[in-house]
Amino acid sequence: MNGISLDEYQRTERSTAGAEARTGFVVHAVITAFVMVGLVVLNVTVADEFPWSVFPVVGMGIGLLAHWWFGYRNLDATMRRHQADIEHRALDLSNR
């Protein structure tokens, strides 16, 4: 039975996690954009006395920025830490 090397496994895991992170961020961005537009339209058409939609739009923008920063931008560093932790635990188990 042919196996793959640890480096190949780690590269593939990072690649897969990166694709999932991109997909998750894009879905979050699209849904956020639709909701933001809907809130602004609702604010302008129904309750235009005060621009209240600014508050949820800014809040959702901050949430989207946090998703990008923690879930996509820093993914490689997070994956390296995760993989190093798994290697360390595997070594501990094999030394028992």
Q: Tell me, yes or no, whether 88 lies in a domain.
A: yes
Contact, 42 vs 55, CB < 8 A? no
Say what the pTM is: 0.76
Overall domain count for the chain = 1
How far apart are the C-alpha atoms of 69 and 48, rounded to whole Å? 34
What is the token pair recorded at 33?
Answer: 């954009």
The domain containing residue 79 runs over which residues? 12-94
Other CB atoms within 10 Å distance of the CB of residue 5:
8
pLDDT in tens, 34-58: 999 999 999 999 988 999 999 999 9
pLDDT at 2: 67
Q: Tell me, yes or no, whether 83 lies in a domain.
A: yes
